[in-house]
């Protein structure tokens, strides 16, 4: 008996129906099937975010069919057989069935085929080599994909080393899928192959590495997968040593126990040493965005040291100097490295105080400093910094007159 997913809402939604109608008008019934993540996630009860379609139609035929139906066709990966159809504002990746002609582990030369089994044999994991027809019937060419998906087994299609040599990014994908879908002990053959070929990770483009790494770290609980990456020697191919696995585990524990949203960039910071220069270099090597780089660097600042027993006044001072976002990041990292069972309420209180505090603006301007008799030039900034330090030390006193009096006293005491 053919197993079926049933007709899921995403299968029958008008945009999906429009795309499938267009393809079937050109190639007939069963010329196109849903493939990969949408099938896998439906099988295991996970949300479906993207809908990918495999077809026997060539990219040119796909383009003609999509446009004939009044939909937009975008040539996102024609060399590898992929056309993206836009229907109802939603993208659908449509890829012609393929087989590898040659590959160097980074780029593959492919040939198109009409053989569904041949297409399945070049895919990475059995749980991704699953297809579903439009009526919801499941097609499992490897014979193991559905069972592996349900059991949380991340198993390569065929020989693990051969699959890895076709695309070394699959080393990282193995651990990413472990983090997201894995259950129990990992597949020993797959793990051994990743360890043997770990140095090939360094041949990959930085953008591919960072994208895959951050996807892995975005899983609800990537602790086991990350620990296995470290044991296999894969993690050190991407990150500088020493790798702070215990702080990383602590941060994930905090996020999991207290229902904080998973934060992949902060989890990356947790793995790094407390060294801003190292963070800067890593951000550059992984081609992170400027915003991601700046956040990493700020999170790993050595000073001020955050402690769970900081007073409200000290917390406000740190928030003012660092900003709310950097303070929150640094507080979570310090919390993750601490004895979490004893001081959880204090750390939570610190973060809540910082989030709820309205950061005040320094009440004096450069014009007011000049009006106090300070000449134009670097002395203006020096005086403002001294008065601001006094204002911060007095817990951001909400009294402009007192600030002006302090300004006058500082101005009078300065030697111009």
Instruction: Tell me the CATH number at 55.
Output: 3.30.460.10
Helix 324-337 crosses helix 312-322 at what angle (to 10 degrees)?
120
Total structural domains in the chain? 4
Same domain, 252 and 346: yes
Q: What are phi and psi of 117, to 5 degrees?
A: -65, -40
Query: Are residue 101 and residue 190 in the same domain, yes or no?
Result: no
Do 201 and 333 share a structural domain? no
* Rounded-to-10 torsion of CA 300, 304, 305, 306: -90
What is the pLDDT at residue 107? 67
pLDDT of residue 131: 97
202 and 68, same domain (yes or no): no
pLDDT value, residue 71: 97
pLDDT of residue 336: 94
- Sequence-separated (6 or more) residues with CB below 8 Å from residue 302: 274, 276
CA distance 35 to 33: 6
Comparing CA positions, the residue from 95, 83, 76, 77 lying closest to residue 36 is 95
Kindly state whether residues 374 and 337 are assigned to the same domain: no
- Find the CATH number of the domain harbouring 165: 1.10.3090.10
Q: What is the chain's pLDDT, residue by residue, as a tens digit (416 residues)?
A: 578 888 899 999 999 999 999 999 999 999 999 999 999 999 999 999 999 999 999 999 999 999 999 999 999 888 889 999 999 999 999 999 988 766 765 666 778 899 999 999 999 999 999 999 999 999 999 999 999 999 999 999 999 999 999 999 999 999 999 999 999 999 999 999 999 999 999 999 999 999 999 999 999 999 999 999 999 999 999 998 899 999 999 999 999 887 788 999 999 999 999 999 999 999 999 999 999 999 999 999 988 889 989 999 999 999 999 999 999 999 999 999 987 666 678 899 999 999 999 999 999 998 998 988 888 888 889 999 999 999 999 999 998 999 899 998 988 877 54
pLDDT at 361: 94
Query: Is there a single domain that holds both residue 189 and residue 246?
Result: no
248 and 190 within one domain: no
Q: Looking at the structure, tell me whether residues 12 and 146 fall in a common domain.
A: yes
CB count within 10 Å of CB 181 equals: 21
Q: Which of 151, 174, 201 is the endpoint of a domain?
A: 151
* Element containing residue 133 per DSSP (H, E): none
Is residue 335 a contact partner of residue 347, using CB atoms and an 8 Å limit? yes
With beta carbons less than 8 A apart as the criterion, state whether 303 and 276 touch: no
> Final residue of a domain: which of 151, 178, 200?
151
Print the domain residue range for 98.
1-151
* Same domain flag for 54 and 104: yes
Tokens of 365: 């301007």
283 plus 324 within the same structural domain: yes
Asked whether residue 78 falls in the same domain as residue 128, the answer is yes
Give the residue from 184, 212, 238 where a domain finishes.
Answer: 238
Q: Give tens-digit pLDDT for 357-380.
A: 999 999 999 899 898 888 888 888
Measured distance CA(152)–CA(184) in Å, rounded: 8
Query: In angstroms, rounded to a whole number, what is the distance separating the alpha carbons of residues 378 and 13?
Result: 65
pLDDT given for residue 415 in this prediction? 56
Same domain? 218 vs 268: no
What is d(CA 62, CA 27) in angstroms, rounded to the nearest whole number? Answer: 9
């Amino acid at each position: 008996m053919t197993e079926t997913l049933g007709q899921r809402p995403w299968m029958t939604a008008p945009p999906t129906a429009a795309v499938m109608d267009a393809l079937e008008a050109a190639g007939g019934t069963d010329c196109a099937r849903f493939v990969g993540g949408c099938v896998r996630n439906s099988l295991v009860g996970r949300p479906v975010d993207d809908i990918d379609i495999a077809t026997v139609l060539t990219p040119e035929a796909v383009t003609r069919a999509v446009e004939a139906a009044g939909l937009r066709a975008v040539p996102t990966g024609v060399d590898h057989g992929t056309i993206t159809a836009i229907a109802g504002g939603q993208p659908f990746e449509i890829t012609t069935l393929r087989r590898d002609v040659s590959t160097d582990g980074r780029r593959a030369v492919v040939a198109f085929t009409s053989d569904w089994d041949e297409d399945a044999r070049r895919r990475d994991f059995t749980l991704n080599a699953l297809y579903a027809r439009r009526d919801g019937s499941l097609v499992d060419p490897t014979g193991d994909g559905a069972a592996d998906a349900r059991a949380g087994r991340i198993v390569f299609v065929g020989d693990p080393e051969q699959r890895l040599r076709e695309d070394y990014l699959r080393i990282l994908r193995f651990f990413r899928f472990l983090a997201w879908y894995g259950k129990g002990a990992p597949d020993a053959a797959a793990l051994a192959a990743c360890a043997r070929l770990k140095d090939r990770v360094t041949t990959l483009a930085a953008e591919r590495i960072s994208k895959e790494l951050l996807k892995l770290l975005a899983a609800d609980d990537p602790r086991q997968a990350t620990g296995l990456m470290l044991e296999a020697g894969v993690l050190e191919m991407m990150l500088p040593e020493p790798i702070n696995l215990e702080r990383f585990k602590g941060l994930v524990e905090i996020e999991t126990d207290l229902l904080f949203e998973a934060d992949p960039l902060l989890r990356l910071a947790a793995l790094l040493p407390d060294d801003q220069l190292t963070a800067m270099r890593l951000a550059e090597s992984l081609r992170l965005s400027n915003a991601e780089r700046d956040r990493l660097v700020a999170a790993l600042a050595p000073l001020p040291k955050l402690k769970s027993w900081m007073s409200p006044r000290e917390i406000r001072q740190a928030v003012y100097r660092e900003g709310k976002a950097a303070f929150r990041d640094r507080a979570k990292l310090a919390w993750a490295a601490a004895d979490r069972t004893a001081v959880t309420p204090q750390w939570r209180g610190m973060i809540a105080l910082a989030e709820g505090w309205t950061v005040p603006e320094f009440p004096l301007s450069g014009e007011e400093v000049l009006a106090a008799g300070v000449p134009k030039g670097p002395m203006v900034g020096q005086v403002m910094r001294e008065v601001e330090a006094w204002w911060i030390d007095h817990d951001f006193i909400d009294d402009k007159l007192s600030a002006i009096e302090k300004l006058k006293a500082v101005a009078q005491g300065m030697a111009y």
